[in-house]
């Protein structure tokens, strides 16, 4: 570079910050193209696999995830972006039925990109003016849906935290002195929830110092709904043990069967006993070889696939033991093939069954037909 006196100077050289910004924006642009291609376009295409399954040891070797002492080039990082997308489960795929989430809403995804890029926080209007106003509007709408003209609200990162917040608020409502005086200021408390409620009830009781032994599990009917008569009996029993009933957790869409507890009857019982009622909300019938565990009440469809070798043998001594092995074997085959993904589990005396969650907005009738046909193909020789 000249000092400018001899006339061959063409302006100041870009400093390191400008170069870094330029390279960063280029990297972001290239990475975004890969993300859209791999995690959006391909991930929602039924012709693509739901997952590219690798065993942990093989995947660890392919990805080289060890933390090194030195950085990597932009091209190496872009390859990592592509590899992460390639070997991850495509939960946006129309044939992903495994969890209580699936599919992609392109407008919502755009909102996520915007909020991540702006990288602000909700705690003051000063640093998040638009989002604070937006939050107020959304919470006002949510309150109106349950008939409240006034109130507060908070967005939680998941169901476990939501349920813990609810239990904490209920305890404060019943014993406000707990905020300043702690657990010494409250009696032994009793929590009531159904046998099929979310596991976070136990976590919440443990975290808040209430104790898991003070959770009373209420019986459910054959469809997985809480039995109100047993709730009343459990409340009487808790009182006889000098515990104070303060919180009942009802569920609108249980994790496994998607059951809805009888909310009105539970509300009446809660009111009579001065308890806080919390509602944990989560938003194949005639085909040979498919047997429903229970009538679907929401987006969960629970069923057994009965392979040809077991049909008509329901009364044999080893029928249940053999049936219990069917779902795990079919699940292993579908995951390794990458054709689809659906969960399975046992429940009480019922051996392993499939729990299909129908949520994806991309799901079509042909996808459901594929699911049934593929399940038959994968299990016909069992």
H-type alpha helices, the chain: 16-35, 56-63, 74-87, 106-118, 129-145, 159-174, 178-181, 200-207, 228-240, 263-272, 319-337, 365-379
Percent of the chain with pLDDT over 70: 87
Half-sphere exposure of 334 (CA within 13 A, CB side): 29
pLDDT of the residue at 22: 84
Q: Distance between alpha carbon 364 and the CA centroid of its chain, in Å? A: 22
The model's pLDDT over 307-359, given as tens digits with 9 standing for 90+, comes to 878 777 777 888 888 888 888 888 888 888 888 788 888 877 788 888 877 76
CA distances in angstroms from 288 to 32, 35, 292, 373, listed in the order given: 46, 41, 11, 11
pLDDT at 187 over 70: yes
**Tokens of residue 342, six digits:** 């659906």
pLDDT of the residue at 129: 93
User: Mind giving me the DSSP string for 20-61?
Assistant: HHHHHHHHHHHHHHHHIIIIIIGGG-TTS-S-----HHHHHH
Nearest CA to 277 out of 264, 295, 290 is that of 264
Give 357's strand partners. 300
How does residue 79 score in pLDDT terms, banded at 50, 70 and 90? Answer: very high
pLDDT at 45 over 90: no
The model's pLDDT over 49-58, given as tens digits with 9 standing for 90+, comes to 888 888 999 9
Q: Mean of the pLDDT values across residues 280-290? A: 56
Nearest CA to 165 out of 154, 149, 177 is that of 154
Q: Mean of the pLDDT values across residues 57-79? A: 88
Dist. CA 80–CA 174, nearest whole Å: 52
**Tokens of residue 46, six digits:** 């039924």
Dist. CA 140–CA 306, nearest whole Å: 49
Give 248's strand partners. 192, 277
pLDDT of the residue at 370: 80
Cβ(178)–Cβ(186) under 8 Å?
Answer: yes
Give 192's strand partners. 216, 248
More confident residue, 320 or 137: 137
Range ranked top by mean pLDDT from 51-65, 85-99, 166-180, 310-324: 166-180
pLDDT of the residue at 9: 47
Query: Residue 63 contacts by C-beta under 8 Å, 6 or more apart in sequence?
Result: 80, 83, 84, 87
The model's pLDDT over 245-280, given as tens digits with 9 standing for 90+, comes to 999 999 877 766 667 888 889 999 999 999 999 887
Cβ(338)–Cβ(53) under 8 Å?
Answer: yes
Q: What is the mean pLDDT of the chain?
A: 83
Candidate from 104-108, 148-152, 280-284, 374-378 with smallest mean pLDDT: 280-284
Query: Residue 124 contacts by C-beta under 8 Å, 6 or more apart in sequence?
Result: 132
Q: Mean of the pLDDT values across residues 145-173? A: 88
Pairing of strands 300-305, 244-252: unpaired
Q: Which domains does the chain have, with CATH numbers?
A: 106-155 (no CATH), 156-281 (3.40.640.10), 290-379 (3.90.1150.170)
Nearest CA to 354 out of 318, 305, 294, 307 is that of 305
More confident residue, 292 or 81: 81
pLDDT of the residue at 89: 87
pLDDT of the residue at 296: 54
**Is pTM beyond 0.75 here?**
no
Q: Distance between alpha carbon 211 and the CA centroid of its chain, in Å? A: 25
Please report, in angstroms and rounded to a whole number, the separation of the first and last CA atoms in the chain. Answer: 76
Cβ(340)–Cβ(377) under 8 Å?
Answer: no
């Amino acid at each position: 570079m000249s000092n400018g006196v001899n006339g061959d100077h063409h302006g100041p050289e870009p400093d390191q910050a400008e170069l870094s910004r330029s390279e960063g924006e280029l990297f972001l642009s290239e990475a975004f193209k890969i993300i859209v291609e791999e995690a959006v376009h391909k991930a929602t295409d039924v012709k693509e696999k739901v997952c590219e399954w690798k065993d942990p040891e093989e995947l660890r070797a392919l990805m080289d995830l060890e933390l090194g002492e030195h950085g990597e080039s932009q091209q190496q990082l872009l390859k990592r972006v592509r590899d992460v997308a390639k070997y991850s489960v495509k939960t946006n795929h129309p044939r992903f039925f495994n969890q209580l989430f699936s599919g992609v809403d392109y407008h919502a995804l755009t909102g996520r990109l915007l909020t991540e890029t702006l990288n602000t926080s909700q705690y003051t209007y000063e640093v998040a003016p638009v989002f604070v106003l937006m939050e107020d509007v959304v919470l006002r709408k949510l309150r109106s849906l349950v008939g409240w003209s006034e109130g507060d609200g908070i967005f939680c990162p998941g169901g476990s935290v939501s349920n813990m917040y609810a239990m904490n608020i209920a305890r404060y409502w019943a014993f406000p002195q707990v905020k300043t005086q702690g657990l010494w200021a409250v009696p032994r408390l009793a929590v009531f929830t159904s046998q099929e409620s979310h596991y976070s009830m136990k976590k919440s009781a443990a975290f808040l110092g209430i104790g898991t032994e003070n959770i009373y599990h209420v019986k459910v009917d054959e469809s997985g709904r809480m039995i109100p008569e047993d709730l009343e009996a459990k409340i009487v029993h808790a009182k006889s043990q000098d515990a104070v009933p303060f919180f009942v957790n009802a569920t609108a869409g249980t994790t496994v069967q998607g059951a809805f507890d009888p909310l009105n009857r539970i509300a009446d019982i809660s009111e009579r006993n001065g308890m806080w009622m919390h509602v944990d909300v989560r938003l194949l019938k005639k085909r040979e070889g498919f047997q429903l565990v229970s009538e679907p009440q929401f987006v969960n469809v629970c069923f057994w696939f009965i392979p040809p070798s077991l049909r008509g043998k329901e009364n044999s001594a080893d029928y249940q033991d053999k049936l219990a092995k069917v779902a795990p074997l079919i699940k292993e085959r579908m995951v390794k093939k990458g054709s689809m993904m659906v969960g399975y589990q046992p429940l009480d005396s019922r051996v392993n069954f499939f729990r299909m969650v129908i949520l994806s907005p991309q799901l079509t009738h042909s996808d459901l037909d594929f699911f049934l046909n593929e399940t038959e193909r994968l299990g016909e020789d069992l």
